[in-house]
Structure 1
């Protein structure tokens, strides 16, 4: 029996994973429909990566102005107009927005529908259109790319005191002339750390509460310690090892009760930012009715297929990493497998996933760190280069941090890298490339790096490894040789 479809692919969600999936499908001349219920570009453009990095940049400049005397200039009070800072954030979004717009994707050959999509059966998607009416699409394959939303913990009293998240603060704070006087940040992960530091630099009195014994719980302790020191230096009161108990309001005053080693205490605040993680958007798309397994994310196989082999998931909704570049990475596998899987399917590859936390200094990592290597009982040795030895870092007044490389004992193969530095995210790219293509530290050492640049830190880290692995017998022989040559 011949079955005919209206579409080769329907993509639900126009964030990073959905946009890339639709782009790839259109590029190979498939008939593809992209459905978005809210704003094109998803969380990254509208609430996450783009606005937060714009805010971070303004906050960093404000701090540099306060520290201008460090560079031989007159230190000044930046006189922050928070409303203008937030206006700039929106201007940055507006400049990036055309890259993700419906107009651009329509010009590329993608049919873009604004509306709510629901999967009726494995080959049928019903869309309630934003401007009224509905349409049913018969499709050969589907990619679910519905993303994630901030998780708000069910703390007693939290609704009474009110809160913002990394999604809502851009609207809630947009008209404030000054940032909140007392900001309480709940959560010590990447989002919490980035926003805590930024608001402190822009003038808020920030208290950050984290239940774990350290900030950035997935990072090594030495990296987390540098971040905590940087936040404290910028005025953030960091309370690690503190568990939030409940919130309460007393007239116009708002408090959070927390439990630490010294007992229970109350923290007064004017605004509460919840940054304790994100949860996948799983409901309302017909997954339950289709029997598609979900836990914290949609369960998929190594090809990103769900229980129904023509339905795929990509991005935050699929896990295991909630990173924009991983969403785009997964989108390639999901869309290619959906369109060409009858000929060849590709297993998604997570071996060389980089990530960066954009605090100052940044923390960037790829592969294993020490904590993970120990947990997995993988033998390793550590090579470390301190940035206080890097000429460019000294000249830039940012000689804080390190490059740390894990290798198998006695070998130059790179198992993982952690960098804490002003430009750590950019520096990491060389190591990601090396790991992807099986290049060891000797290859990095043998590569010319411009002087004076931050990238030299990578070469010097490789040089540290080489210096620690020069054969001692050879050195003794060379010493005797040169003695003989002198005589």
Structure 2
């Protein structure tokens, strides 16, 4: 394959060299074409096949190797062959040449690029698979956009060459017609700018507007195709029906009601979803209680003698459930009905794209809606582990029903949930073992970040088992144990058994996509089980959208709210303006101690994507507030464009990291660089000063050394030291004489 690429590259280089060395680039000018126009016509009359065939071949070769002059050849074709024959010949020659150019780019460059930029190209190719033909068509309709760039760029994607060919054939036709028509008046043109007469400018404007008209036409065609397949209602009960009353569904309902759309919200369980009932709220209440116990144990560091805390686990769980009750009114049925939302309790199923059947305890009701938003959330994933059926498995959903503190807890999974809950139960008095199949905790974070958390967990008595695979659950001594396998020092597998009174499974979450009739309607799922939606959160059905955990890729409450805004606005106003979801400045926090907070790229992600970054690091042991409180573990790490202060990502490890991260998130969202953060006054002594200090570390690494050297000389001169030294030299010289 490498040899073929080298031969092809050599051939192209020879053609390009021959073009310029022969002087063809100088001969192919408007003046020369005009001067030789009559001669070309005589030659065409004498040898039509030779001229047509030669013209066609030259045009194909020039387009294939992206040589300049295609516009002039198009004008010449119009002058020689007239509008009809000229358009026919040039249309096929240009399309064939463009397809060959795409094939050349694909052969020479695509494989190396895919090896280096696999994640980015995977997303691009996914978009190409969905709407690549339409994108190519709209680009072809704008003749002022360099076609050779389109040829080369699209050649690097996974678009089928046949699709590329026929879309280019159709898409380039209007622009080609404009230039061929101008070529008929070749003798009257004084320059290429003469092509752009008012009439032709109007033609180009219409061509430029055509993509938007075409998109609207495509949308209408999709709706009509759906209407033919299903019985589309002539009127609708609601503008939007939202399925799922978790974070995403509540935000979607709120936004729709705020703009006076008629919206129905269907939830089969409890409003508030996982975040309120089994996720964010109860876990943070538990984490806070566990942190209080840890602070009591460590109080002697500050001269406060408190001893070992007494844990009343029932009271701890009472605090957890009290937190849920106090937050609950924010997500209540009464609140949303007061906002104008029609809230229903029941199971929702799509009968067709516009009809949602809601099954309640009192019967069934069919709702009609112009749009449906799926926000059905996700649930804990329980692996297919032998022996697991013999025990009651704890998950982040049901552990809140515990009445007694687990004596021995094994946590399966070293991600954020496993680390947060494992540390909390250890601080409350459980003996905890944490099992992670990967070679580090928090697999999405950098190694130095995970190492800080691992060190703290180990110091607090958590047994951390990395690179360890769960095999099965086995009965032992009247209880149970998790049998695990890890590589030994000699490379052989080592089998161990970790006894437990409770097993907590925290290996991820799976989207709730079953039972809603989506599969029957052709709404697809991705490999990870989430619903397949595009960048505007639209499914394959133009009026069915998805947001939150069911859509992925980030199963975070604030990510769900972010998506819900986009899904709702795009559903209600997408015919006028469509918004794509951006995750570039999406923050995420793991609430361990120390906390881990990140926005944007990590070092690992930058490396995997081939993004060049500059890393600036500031250790919290240098921060006055951290020193005063005796909490100096952790650091701030910022990734920037090399040599510039533009922030590409930031990671903070340490106490209060989640709160400190907000400043970096704001900076990335609004394009604020490190220079401006350095110039912002921060209260002293606060942990947020670490943000400014990190910016200062970056600035110190980029100080203008040459300018500072000149300033040193200037100040020395101002102090008189230079003049004194000169006078001393003169004085010594005179003494010597």
Instruction: State the TM-score, normalizing by the size of structure 1.
Output: 0.98
Corresponding position: 1:399 with 2:632 = yes
Residue in 1 that maps onto 2:429: 203
Does structure 2 conserve the Cα–Cα contact (< 8 Å) formed by 1:160 and 1:249? no
Inter-partner Cα distance in structure 2 for 1:258 and 1:475: 60
Structure 1 counterpart of 2:330, from 99, 103, 108: 99
5 Å matches for 1:16-165? 16-129=247-360, 131-165=361-395
Inter-partner Cα distance in structure 1 for 2:518 and 2:487: 44
Does structure 2 conserve the Cα–Cα contact (< 8 Å) formed by 1:14 and 1:36? yes
SS of 2:485 mapped into structure 1:
strand
Residue in 2 that maps onto 1:378: 611
Structure 1 counterpart of 2:568, from 335, 348, 358: 335
Deviations 1:230-274 (A, max 9, x none): 111111000011000111124621011101122111111100000
Query: For the structure 1 residues 2 and 313, does the alpha-carbon distance in structure 2 shift closer, same or farther, using more than 3 Å as the test?
Result: closer
Residue in 1 that maps onto 2:473: 247
Does structure 2 conserve the Cα–Cα contact (< 8 Å) formed by 1:152 and 1:276? yes
5 Å matches for 1:311-330? 311-330=544-563
Does structure 2 conserve the Cα–Cα contact (< 8 Å) formed by 1:161 and 1:248? no
Which structure has the bigger radius of gyration? 2
Inter-partner Cα distance in structure 1 for 2:576 and 2:272: 31
Inter-partner Cα distance in structure 1 for 2:427 and 2:659: 23
Residue in 2 that maps onto 1:300: 533
Inter-partner Cα distance in structure 2 for 1:185 and 1:368: 28
Relative contact order (alpha carbons < 8 A, sep ≥ 6): 1 or 2 greater?
1
SS of 1:50 mapped into structure 2:
helix
Shift in Å, 1:9: 0.4
Structure 2 counterpart of 1:8, from 222, 233, 239: 239
Deviations 1:297-323 (A, max 9, x none): 000011100011100000000011000
Residue in 1 that maps onto 2:506: 275
Structure 2 counterpart of 1:218, from 444, 455, 466: 444
Inter-partner Cα distance in structure 1 for 2:397 and 2:707: 60
Shift in Å, 1:2: 8.3
Inter-partner Cα distance in structure 2 for 1:251 and 1:128: 47
Structure 1 counterpart of 2:709, from 451, 476, 481: 476
Q: More helix by proportion, 1 or 2?
A: 2
Shift in Å, 1:3: 2.1
Deviations 1:178-202 (A, max 9, x none): x111000000000000000000000
Deviates more, 1:471-480 or 1:185-194: 471-480
Inter-partner Cα distance in structure 1 for 2:708 and 2:609: 36
SS of 2:553 mapped into structure 1:
coil
Shift in Å, 1:75: 3.0
SS of 2:346 mapped into structure 1:
strand
Deviations 1:422-455 (A, max 9, x none): 1111101101111111110000000000000111
Residue in 1 that maps onto 2:592: 359
Corresponding position: 1:459 with 2:692 = yes
Shift in Å, 1:483: 1.0
Q: More strand by proportion, 1 or 2?
A: 1
Inter-partner Cα distance in structure 2 for 1:354 and 1:101: 27
Instruction: State the TM-score, normalizing by the size of structure 2.
Output: 0.65
Does structure 2 conserve the Cα–Cα contact (< 8 Å) formed by 1:315 and 1:327? yes
Inter-partner Cα distance in structure 2 for 1:185 and 1:70: 30
- Structure 1 unaligned runs (5+)? none
Inter-partner Cα distance in structure 2 for 1:372 and 1:336: 31
Structure 2 counterpart of 1:450, from 673, 683, 705: 683
Shift in Å, 1:325: 0.2
Aligned positions, number = 482
Inter-partner Cα distance in structure 1 for 2:307 and 2:280: 29
Inter-partner Cα distance in structure 1 for 2:253 and 2:505: 32
